[in-house]
Amino acid sequence: MISRNFQCSATSGDAVLTAEISPCSFMYPGYGLQLTVKIEGSGGNTIVQKKEIAIENATEDDCKALLDTVQIVPCKSCSKPAFDPATCRTNRDGECNECFMDALNAEYEKARQESDEKLKRDDAKNKKQGYTHRVMAWVHPPQGEDYQLVMYMQNATEQEIVKVLKRKKSTVTNDYQIIVL
């Protein structure tokens, strides 16, 4: 049987691709041969699979042939090597890992700013209505995910907040922050 540590590499233009056998090929019977492929000097990876090749029968040549099916395209944003999404499993859509992560971070930052601004608008609105505090509390249910609770209160007291959190069946009643409006 092929070694778990087998690695091979290939070049495509200026890009050097390295492949190793994905651990799941050895862990799950019938999974078939799957490679995890990286572009040297770039984060992120992709996988290619050939279910028909049982890991017990896989040869080094099978791995090389499977690696050769992975194609490289110039990143659509910066033209560095990127995986061709038509040839392997990737959510990068023709972008290199760096550009993909940059876009993701920018999206996250935008969402954060939008929610900050919404909170500011809500604060102003509630202050006008006579509320004095915004309480940001985390509810820790006995089962399931924790979630955040935003409450506007008039002269918020610890007792009141604890009462709400108990009513929500939170197992913790001191995980909150009080913001003066």
User: Measuring CA to CA, which residue among 43, 46, 57 is closest to residue 22?
Assistant: 46
| Distance separating alpha carbons of residues 49 and 31, to the nearest angstrom | 9
Binding residues for Zn ion, per CB under 5 A? Answer: 75, 77-78, 80, 96, 99
Nearest approach in angstroms of CB 48 to Zn ion is 21
Q: Within 10 Å of residue 30's Cβ, how many Cβ atoms?
A: 7
Give the nearer residue to Zn ion in terms of CB position, either 83 or 152. 83
Which residue type, as a one-letter code, is found at position 11? T
Nearest approach in angstroms of CB 25 to Zn ion is 30
Contacts of 29 (CB under 8 A, 6+ apart): none
| Distance separating alpha carbons of residues 153 and 15, to the nearest angstrom | 59
- Tokens read off for 147: 């979630």
Nearest approach in angstroms of CB 131 to Zn ion is 47
Nearest approach in angstroms of CB 78 to Zn ion is 3
Give the nearer residue to Zn ion in terms of CB position, either 38 or 80. 80
Q: Within 10 Å of residue 113's Cβ, how many Cβ atoms?
A: 10
Nearest approach in angstroms of CB 76 to Zn ion is 8
- Tokens read off for 44: 């992120």
Give the nearer residue to Zn ion in terms of CB position, either 73 or 151. 73
Give the nearer residue to Zn ion in terms of CB position, either 14 or 60. 14
Round to the nearest angstrom and report the end-to-end CA distance of the chain. Answer: 68
Which residue type, as a one-letter code, is found at position 167? R
Give the nearer residue to Zn ion in terms of CB position, either 78 or 150. 78
